[in-house]
Amino acid sequence: MAENHVILTTGLHNRYWILDVQEVHGARGSAEKHLTITASKTSHPTEICILKDGWESTPVSTGDVVHLEGQCVSGTWLIDRESGFLVLLPDVLISGTSIASGIRCMRRAVLGEMFKRFDGGSKQMLNGTIVHEIFQKAAMSGDFSMERLQLLANQALLSPNYLGDMYTLKLTQEDMKQEIWEYLPALTDWARDYLHTSPQAGKKLLTLKFIAVTDFVDIEENIWSPRFGLKGKIDVTAGVRIHRKGRPPLNRVMPLELKTGKESNSIEHRSQVILYTLMSLERRSDAEAGFLLYLKTGNLHPIVGNHMDRRELLKLRNTLAHHIGNSMEKEGKTRMAPLPGIITDRQACKWCPQIRNCALYDRAPDYYSSESQQLLVQQESEHLTEAHLLYFSHWLLLCALETHTMERKGGRHNIWLQSAQEREKSGGCMGNMQLIGPVKNQSDGVYIHRFERRRGGEQGVTGLIVGDRVVVSDQDLQLIGVAAGYVTDVSSTAVSCSLDRDLSKCSSDVVFRLDQDEGVMGLSTHLVNLSKMMERSPPSERLRELIVDFHPPQFIDNLSSVLPREAKDTVANILKGLNKPQKQAMKKVLLSKDYTLIVGMPGTGKTTTICTLVRILHACGFSVLLTSYTHSAVDNILLKLRRFKVGFLRLGRAQKVHPDILAYTEEKCRANGIHTLPELENLYNKELVVATTCMGVKHPIFSRRRFDFCIVDEASQISQPVCLGPLFYAQRFVLVGDHQQLPPIVQNTEARLLGMDESLFKRLERKSEAVVQLNVQYRMNSKIMSLSNTLMYGGRLECGSERTASAMLALPSQGSVQRQLELSLGRPEDLAWVQAALEPLNPVCFLDTTQAGCRASDIGVIAPYRQQLKVISGLLAGPAFSTVEVNTVDKYQGRDKSVIIVSFVRSHPEGNLGELLKDWRRLNVAITRAKHKLLMVGSAPTLRRYAPLEKLLNHLTQESMISFTLPRLLSC
DNA sequence: ACATTCACTAATGGG
């Protein structure tokens, strides 16, 4: 029986489940594979699929999902030399370039899918990208005149993206201009020879046919093909007229692939075109052929892909899909599956961008070694010890496990495997949409569209919110992934979004669906960081010593050598506002040669401390890279920092940045006039302080700039490989966090058990000499603080002042409420929150405090589960409670309120225990958010089954903080 | 047994 997440179907987009694989010998001893397959979850009825003539080598096994092309005659599919295709794991879409790279080295292609490299490329690559753009823009306007091309080239040379690339490659705009200029004549020549709308014109090709391009159907057409398991962007989709001797001319729509490099006409280039003809089948009838256009010479090569070419390329794709889709194997203990072997072609390895990963994989303990003696590959890992390799392989496995779970939950395949209606139920989709009104061309390649729900059909709420990345498709699977972009406005019946292409050409009766794009990034940043850590370079070597080998962090003895004389007074002044542990933290950081860990217990002023630290470092003339995992955490610090005279540059998408910080973003600064490379360099070097998220380290600035210090806030919540990202670019680092609060979220249970939720902060905490604790807090009164002290901090947490310790909730009209309650309830012992006790979800308990004079905005409601929050929010729908914030524990981390009401939800003394409440750290966060009053609601017998809550309840009982003998409600 | 943030991407060419 197929597992739940597997979706099976028949028809054009069929999906079969492999029940059995038999290797048999057919006629004349030739090998065959006979598959027993089914398109039904119940495994009935079954069909047979015979693989022969080379197809039998497809790495297919029981439990795989396949797509079949061809014919099924009385329950039997035949995939042989002449007909039929088998597409293994068809929902793993593989790009045309990936498959082409697999022709020479399959191992490289597999590694390329795992480790997206970011090395900034080369001058030739940048040139290629820019010349492509010039061609494409000229095509869109139908104008290939020299003036037009020069104008487009000049525009491109000023474009922000390319300027960033030039910065990385240390090129000048003049260098680039020269490079590009050389291509322009070939472009005009090509257009003169081939681009004709008149019936007679065209150019004779080697094949003795006249060819003319009559129109440009699409540019950068994006195709996701779940039929063939392919994806790709087609440079140019052209309407072509082929003149034939003695016969009427033939009109076809064909892919045109542009190349700016050598006119190699290589198998890789030709394969790319053949794959594009296959993908095009998702959109239109078979083109059968396409073109390679070499822009260096202007020569056009027709590429015809026959069944054999397509067959061989799809077999290559299947092998690739097999390795990507089965990255791990499980025999008792899970480990990484073997990769394709190492090739013997030294020349190919010499230039391979994956050679380090190739070598790491080969030597990783517990992985399969290729047993190849390839010297070039061996050299790549010589500098690493067993411990380093173990660290790498361990984390690679953890990431693979987690990726597996993430993909199973919400991959892009839901767009074509689930109907819009089904998808809407789980959120993140809006179907039954119609394109309304004109499409506005907002800027270069950004088009504003408005979609409205069609009459009839499902209405209701949408899972989309402003800022979400979305993919646009049609509901009939003709235009899967036709455009992508961001939601700019949303209501229950309409969505506006900025898309990467203009859809106004689509027929007006197309029914669209918008799917939230969870992204295919997976954990690629994690893997790239892990790989970089193994690099043969000084910064990587140093991080390996500190993080993998646990070399003791070093400190200097005396502040005087780091503090510049002229900064002393300023620093002393800044220090004045701090308490003792905070001052110690500052000193420790200044004395550190490697790293410092600042443990910020709840309410101890982490943000203030970081802000002060930055001010001090800035005053000393040190450069600082300020990061955290989330945009909001980064901006929190910046909002404080901007009040002092500390300048900074904020990197990151403006859409995600706090409005008050926008003025400091690169985007804003650039809009104020940056057109030349020197101007950009100046922007990048101007400020001592640069702030971004940990994931933002792909930015060009990091290809060249280095920092004296890197500060990572929320470090205890950041996954280890992500946290590594910014550390490569700084001399020393400071991690700020509290491992007694929430750890990084890991979905895969096995990965979590193997330690994936250990942050770098937690790992390094064992080096106690690097740790400084902020234990003086200004948030909770002493009673509330005592809970957490008992539970997690062993009494180390202290109140910062008598005012904090004794602060109580002020309720101006408490007396009158009390009297009312006495009248209505009669029994004096049932006062105040009795109603709430009987019905935990009843909002009356909030009503009490509101009427008693507490502002709604001072009240926060916390529950561990989203569903619970929806219920509570629903009950609090009235205007009086609109400012009561209802949120999850996770979302409340780092924040506080005067009154906090925690709902523990669960009430089932024998039911299954959820994972969430078992976490000590999540409970610790929940009970340390309140300043003056903490109300907890839950069923004690149920909760006692969770170890952390049992300890909490014991403490509460001891301190007489429980209000009922058969308690439903706990209070302090 | 359900908690969440980040992310523009597939292709750019060189032996």
Q: Find the angle CA(A578)-CA(A584)-CA(A587) to the nearest 5 degrees.
A: 105
- A839 lies in some domain: yes
Residue nearest to nucleotide B8 (CA to C1'): A485
Angle at A264 between CA A262 and CA A266, to 5 degrees: 140
Among A366-370, A436-440, A722-726, the range scoring the smallest mean pLDDT is A366-370
Residue A264 CA distance to nucleotide B15 C1' (Å): 12
> Within 10 A of A664 (CB to CB), how many other CB atoms are there?
22
What is the CA A232 to C1' B9 distance in angstroms?
A: 10
Say yes or no: A869 and A930 in one domain.
yes
Measured CA A469 to C1' B7 distance, in angstroms: 10
Mean pLDDT over A424-439 rounds to 85
Q: Cα A422 to the chain's mean position, in Å?
A: 24
Please indicate, yes or no, if residue A930 is contained in any of the structural domains: yes
What integer pLDDT is reported at residue A841 of this predicted model? 35
DSSP string, A83-143: S-EEEESTTS-EEHHHHHHHTT-HHHHHHHHH----S---HHHHHHHHHHHHHHHHHHHT-
Highest mean pLDDT among A422-436, A527-541, A779-793, A842-856: A527-541
- Beta pairing, strands A31-38 & A16-25: antiparallel
Q: Is residue A533 part of a domain?
A: no
Single out the residue of A377, A716, A724, A709 nearest to residue A531, CA to CA.
A724
Of A405 and A374, more confident: A405
Look-up of token digits 């909490």: A952
Do A613 and A762 share a domain, yes or no?
Answer: yes
pLDDT score, position A2: 61
Instruction: Name residue, tokens 């025999």.
Output: A331
User: Which residue is nearest to the C1' sugar atom of B2, using CA?
Assistant: A865
For A583, residues 6+ apart whose C-beta sits below 8 A from its C-beta are A575
What CATH number does the domain containing A654 carry? 3.40.50.300
The residue written with tokens 């398109």 in the block is A39
Mean pLDDT computed over A8-26: 90
- Residue A209: predicted pLDDT: 59
Nucleotide B1: nearest residue by CA–C1'? A914
- Closest nucleotide C1' to the C-alpha of A916: B3
Q: State, as a whole number of angstroms, the distance between the CA of A137 and the C1' of B8.
A: 20
pLDDT value of residue A908: 67
- Kindly report, residue by residue over A142-174, the tens digit of the pLDDT: 899 999 999 999 999 988 889 999 999 999 999
Q: What is the pLDDT of residue A866?
A: 77
Same domain? A946 vs A863: yes
Task: Please compute the mean of the pLDDT values over residues A896-904 and round it to a whole number.
Answer: 83
The Cα–Cα gap between A320 and A94 comes to 8
Summarised one tens digit per residue, pLDDT across range A48-80 is: 999 999 999 999 999 999 999 999 999 999 999
**Which of A354, A389, A409 is the endpoint of a domain?**
A409
Through-space separation of residue A608 CA and nucleotide B10 C1' in angstroms:
43
For the domain that residue A62 is a member of, what is the CATH number?
Answer: 2.40.50.140
Q: Are A266 and A257 in contact (CB under 8 A)?
A: no
- Give the torsion through C-alpha atoms of A648, A652, A655, A659, to 10 deg: -10
Average pLDDT, whole number, for chain A?
86
Contact A222, A483 (CB under 8 A): yes
Boundary of a domain, candidates A516, A550, A567: A516
Nucleotide nearest to A633 (CA to C1'): B5
Q: CATH no. for residue A494?
A: 2.40.30.270
Q: What does the alpha-carbon distance between residue A127 and residue A467 come to, in Å, rounded to a whole number?
A: 32
Report helix, strand or coil for A444: coil
Residue A652 lies in a domain: yes
Among A582, A496, A537, A514, residue whose Cα is nearest residue A778? A582
What are A588's strand-pairing partners? Answer: none
**Is A135 inside a domain boundary?**
no
A886 and A842 inside one domain: yes
- Give a yes or no: residue A153 inside a domain: no
Average pLDDT over residues A891-903: 82
Give the SS3 label for residue A68: strand
Are both A358 and A469 inside the same structural domain?
no
Provide the CA A95 distance to its chain's centre, in angstroms: 19
**C1' (B8) to CA (A680) span, angstroms:** 22
Establish if A204 belongs to a structural domain.
Answer: no
What mean pLDDT do residues A670-682 have?
87
Q: A421 and A373, same structural domain?
A: no
In a domain, A844, yes or no: yes
> Could you tell me the pLDDT band of residue A273, with boundaries at 50, 70 and 90?
very high
Distance A352 CA to B5 C1' (A): 33
Bases in strand B with any atom closer than 7 Å to a protein CB: 1-15
Question: Per the structure, how many domains does chain A have?
Answer: 5
- Comparing A598 with A931, the larger pLDDT belongs to A598
Same domain for A421 and A405: no
Residue A746 banded pLDDT, cuts 50, 70, 90: very high
pLDDT at A672 over 70: yes
Give the pLDDT of residue A458.
Answer: 57
- Same domain assignment for residues A958 and A909: yes
Q: Are A642 and A935 in contact (CB under 8 A)?
A: no
Question: Of all protein residues, which has its CA closest to the C1' atom of B15?
Answer: A351
Averaged over A786-804, what is the pLDDT?
A: 86
- Which two tokens mark A958? 């001891």
pLDDT at residue number A377: 84
Element (H, E) at A73: strand A72-73
Taking the complete model, does pTM exceed 0.75, yes or no?
yes
Which residue do the tokens 């859409």 mark? A655
**Same domain for A831 and A697:** no
Proportion of chain A above pLDDT 90, given as a percent? 52
A844: pLDDT confidence band, cut at 50, 70 and 90?
A: very low
User: Which nucleotide has the shortest C1'-to-CA distance from A890?
Assistant: B3
One domain, residues A595 and A702: yes
The answer to whether A948 and A791 have CB atoms below 8 angstroms apart is yes
- Residues spanned by the domain of A661: 580-774
What confidence tier does A821 reach under pLDDT thresholds 50, 70, 90?
A: low
**In 3-state terms, what secondary structure has residue A240?**
strand
Q: Which residue is nearest to nucleotide B7 (CA to C1')?
A: A521
- Å between A668 CA and B3 C1'? 35
3-state class of A971 per DSSP? strand
Sign of CA dihedral A430, A432, A437, A441: positive
**Band of the pLDDT at A645, cuts 50, 70, 90?**
confident
Instruction: Indicate whether A386 and A418 sit together in one domain.
Output: no
Out of A774, A793, A824, a domain closes at: A774
CA angle A682, A683, A689 (to 5 degrees): 115
Instruction: Tell me the per-residue pLDDT of A320-375, one tens digit each, with 9 for 90 and over.
Output: 999 999 999 888 789 999 999 998 888 888 888 999 999 999 888 877 777 777 78
A397 with A447, same domain? no
| Nucleotide at minimal C1' distance from the A521 CA | B7
